[in-house]
């Protein structure tokens, strides 16, 4: 079985843009810019997984509200805010530095 190679920048942008390199590049750049701004404004994302999920839930509620009542520009802003929270969760920024926690199954013995 052959090992898959990591996609380069061009392929990554195409994937993010659903085949459209320019759209994908714009999306990746917008997300990176928002992540940078958010980390400067809020260096500590969350104290634990529950708090992080609370931010994600609030972001989803905000996005639903903007889709119903606000402009497309505001909808994209709310979606970027939610994506930022999700990226920070995926990046495990809610965990103490240097102490990644292993996921425990419910059946694990104590």
Tokens representing 22?
A: 């320019």
pTM score: 0.78
Asked whether the beta carbons of 59 and 75 are under 8 A apart, the reply is: no
| Structural domain boundaries enclosing 91 | 46-96
- Alpha-carbon distance of 19 to 107, in angstroms, equals 42
Asked whether the beta carbons of 75 and 67 are under 8 A apart, the reply is: yes
Examine the domain organization and report whether 67 and 84 are in the same domain. Answer: yes
Span 34-70, pLDDT tens digits: 999 999 999 988 999 999 999 999 999 999 999 999 9
Tokens representing 44?
A: 């500590």
| pLDDT at residue 99, as a whole number | 53
Residue 18 DSSP symbol: T
Q: Quick check: is 101 in a domain? A: no
Examine the domain organization and report whether 29 and 52 are in the same domain. Answer: no
**Which contiguous run of DSSP H or E holds residue 29?**
helix 21-41
């Amino acid at each position: 079985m052959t090992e898959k190679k990591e996609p380069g920048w061009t392929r990554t942008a195409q994937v993010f843009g659903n085949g459209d390199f320019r759209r994908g590049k714009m999306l990746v750049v917008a997300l990176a810019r928002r992540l940078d701004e958010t980390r400067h404004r809020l260096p500590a994302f969350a104290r634990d997984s529950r708090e992080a999920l609370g931010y994600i839930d609030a972001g989803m509620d905000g996005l639903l509200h903007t889709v119903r009542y606000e402009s497309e520009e505001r909808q994209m802003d709310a979606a970027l805010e939610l994506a930022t929270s999700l990226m920070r969760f995926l990046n495990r920024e809610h965990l103490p530095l240097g102490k990644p926690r292993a996921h425990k199954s419910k059946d694990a013995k104590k």
